[in-house]
Structure 1
Amino acid sequence: MARCRCLGGCHAQYGDRPARRIHDPLCRPRCAVDDRGIARRFARRTVSRGTDFRWRTRRRHPAWTGASALTMTWSTMVNRYQRVLPCVLFLLFVGAASAADAQRFFGTVVHADNTTPASGAIVSATDSAGVSAGRELTSARGDFVLPVSHPGRYTVTVLRIGNLPVVVRDVVVEPGRDHRIRIVITRDAPRPPAVQIRSGEQCNIRVDSSRVAHAWEQILVALTTAEMAAESKAFAATWLRSERLLGKNLKDTVRRSDKIETLDLASPVMTALSPERIRLAGFVIETEAGVQYHMPDVATLLSRNFSNGRCFSFDPAPPGQPGWIGLHFRSPDFRLGVSDVEGTIWMDRATMEPRGLGYRYTNLPLAFHAAEAGGTLRFSQLPTGHWIVEEWTVRVPSGAFRRIFSYDVRGTPNGFATKLTLDGALLVAVRLMELDLNGSPMFRRQ
């Protein structure tokens, strides 16, 4: 066998020939040099310069034959490795960060028989500091996947219409690992009683465990799924907006218009104020441009300001719907110049699923009482389990707002009075016609 001389690193020179890669057992090089001479890894063990060793017969690569063969010294290899090192460290860092963000909850929610899937349930997680880590809705098979931003100890809560909440505490999620969990819903929520007249009012249901409080909690679960659908930005809705303007006799149609609007569920289709603004100013705002009427939307009904400032009671079923029960609400406080809403949320008494809402505006000027100002909302459940408002209607007075000033002897205004005149009524109806989920049809009105 021919003998050659080690030049250090992964190269050796055989006689007067150009340097080549070596694969001697004594050297055990682990650096693979490609055709361009870039070192990928260093040898685990090298032979000192000047040491002889036997050359193992190996098939030559065409790039290492002839006078054009590349010669790489130890310093060249180190310099190239230093250029590659930052890229390698960056990739390792990105990989570690991705692994750290990979932890998540996933599992199934089932009913008390431990077999039937609980679809349409809200699964939420809260970390040890009380910060919400996210929420998801279970599928038709009861499955859910809930990513969490960091490992640690979590509390998992399950909310579903018709059932009492389920709380699973001290669920530990390890870094970069999934945590599988199976949750069983064992208790049903108390059903509302069948009433023939409006039941006694309860005005502090947040700290109450009565049937009225349980009924309101079921409404909040449905409204929360509507909020989740809007936050997802995945639904695109096509609405038909119809407007009718009635004359002074409140019967004849003076003007009518219809138009199609395409919006996502997060975009308001009817005018509404923030819950904080409603708490301060009410649902009807008088301005120099006219009177603005605002509806109780999903965000308003979900707010603590709404439930804390209302008294609730049960209403008997409406005509033609013997299986329904009403949850009546009203504001117990009268504030001069502030208009509120009073109404009833209708729900199925057996399943406790919402059906609709009817309301009227209170404390309006006397000139507007004849218009019977108010509105309705109709709820519908999507195949995904989300609940949405599929139809809105509102009837508001149409009148003139005039401010009459009084003047002193010098002609300077020293006061004013407000005068409202009823000119008719405006009827607005917004109905959902089509709904797409990420571009796929989900709902079409016939």
Structure 2
Amino acid sequence: MKREKLLVQRHLLTERPSTFIAQRATHESFALDAKTIQREEERTGTKLFDSKPAEDLIENGFVQKDGNGELYFAPDADVLLSDPFLDSHCFRFSVGRGEAEGLIGLGFEPASGRNRTVDISGTLWLDGQTFELRWLQYNYENLDPDINSSEVGGRVDFQRLPNGTWIVPEWWIQMPRIGVSYDLPVERECVSCLQAHRRSRNAGA
């Protein structure tokens, strides 16, 4: 896709009237025994899904330290269509199949040499006729080998309301849950490893 088309898409996403909407966030924790723990909260506003600025994510990564833990960030439309993101990622076309039948896929991955921070790769799916955003599916890159998994990633859905306002009706991030494994053939060794995944999910109320 030409850069000009992406810039037009960014204009369409940002120059529309605001709408007051409500969303329900469900935070789910999946344990190894398949038990699911949920915590829900409701929020209202005109923009309920708002990522960090693109410059911050490109410079400091899509996973950042927060006290004793880490925060996993998903990109919003402004990040995906920003100059810092476009300049730091390589893009390719793909044809949609299955759920993405009839859509055009704009695959992306970090440019060569971008391995200093955690980045993302994935596919941005667009309508085959209008080039309007439909959804983004992505995975985190450059994670620690102990927690690197194809299941660590997320999805962001986009929807255009009748008045032209763009919203994110649903999104989720699946993050690793770190555990401790003991290898006991000779010596007791403590190793961090991927024990389960934790999913944070938002859906329109």
> Do Structure 1 and Structure 2 share a fold, with TM-score over 0.5?
yes
Counterpart selection for 2:46 from 264, 267, 279: 264
The code of the aligned residue for 1:224 comes to H
Query: Contact 1:400/1:423 (CA < 8 Å) preserved in 2?
Result: yes
Q: 1:243 to 1:359 in 2, by over 3 A?
A: same
Shift of 1:362: 0.5
Deviations 1:69-116, CA, capped at 9 Å, x for gaps: xxxxxxxxxxxxxxxxxxxxxxxxxxxxxxxxxxxxxxxxxxxxxxxx
Pair 1:318-2:97 in alignment: yes
Shift of 1:302: 2.8
Q: 1:258 to 1:315 in 2, by over 3 A?
A: same
Q: 1:334 to 1:396 in 2, by over 3 A?
A: farther
- Asked which structure has the greater RCO (Cα within 8 Å, sep 6+), the reply is 2
Shift of 1:360: 0.6
* Structure with greater proportional strand content: 2
Match of 2:161 in 1: 382
Q: 1:306 to 1:326 in 2, by over 3 A?
A: same
Q: 1:336 to 1:288 in 2, by over 3 A?
A: farther
For 1:340 and 1:377, locate their aligned partners in 2 and report how far apart those are by CA, in whole Å: 16
Query: Contact 1:371/1:397 (CA < 8 Å) preserved in 2?
Result: no
Instruction: Kindly name which structure, 1 or 2, has the bigger radius of gyration based on alpha carbons.
Output: 1
Please, what TM-score do these two structures have when normalized by structure 1?
Answer: 0.40
For 1:356 and 1:383, locate their aligned partners in 2 and report how far apart those are by CA, in whole Å: 18
Match of 1:430 in 2: 202
For 1:336 and 1:348, locate their aligned partners in 2 and report how far apart those are by CA, in whole Å: 32
For 1:319 and 1:252, locate their aligned partners in 2 and report how far apart those are by CA, in whole Å: 28
For 1:236 and 1:376, locate their aligned partners in 2 and report how far apart those are by CA, in whole Å: 23
Secondary structure, in 3 states, of the residue corresponding to 2:97? Answer: coil
More off after superposition, 278-287 vs 374-383: 278-287
Query: Contact 1:223/1:387 (CA < 8 Å) preserved in 2?
Result: no
Match of 2:118 in 1: 339
Query: Contact 1:222/1:386 (CA < 8 Å) preserved in 2?
Result: no
Deviations 1:173-194, CA, capped at 9 Å, x for gaps: xxxxxxxxxxxxxxxxxxxxxx
Paired residues for 1:2-41 under 5 Å: none
Secondary structure, in 3 states, of the residue corresponding to 2:56? Answer: helix
Query: Contact 2:126/2:132 (CA < 8 Å) preserved in 1?
Result: yes
Match of 1:177 in 2: none
Secondary structure, in 3 states, of the residue corresponding to 1:365? Answer: coil
Query: Contact 2:19/2:165 (CA < 8 Å) preserved in 1?
Result: no
Match of 2:74 in 1: 295
Structure 1's unaligned 5+ residue stretches are 1-211, 402-418, 434-446
Deviations 1:326-348, CA, capped at 9 Å, x for gaps: 01111123344411000111112
Structure 2's unaligned 5+ residue stretches are 181-190
Identical columns (%)? 27
Shift of 1:292: 1.1
Secondary structure, in 3 states, of the residue corresponding to 1:311? Answer: strand
Q: 1:371 to 1:345 in 2, by over 3 A?
A: closer
For 1:259 and 1:329, locate their aligned partners in 2 and report how far apart those are by CA, in whole Å: 33
Secondary structure, in 3 states, of the residue corresponding to 1:368? Answer: coil
Deviations 1:273-322, CA, capped at 9 Å, x for gaps: 22121121111113442111111112212321001111111112121443
The code of the aligned residue for 2:11 comes to T
Match of 1:114 in 2: none
Match of 1:228 in 2: 15
Please, what TM-score do these two structures have when normalized by structure 2?
Answer: 0.83
Corresponding pairs, count: 195
Query: Contact 1:290/1:400 (CA < 8 Å) preserved in 2?
Result: no
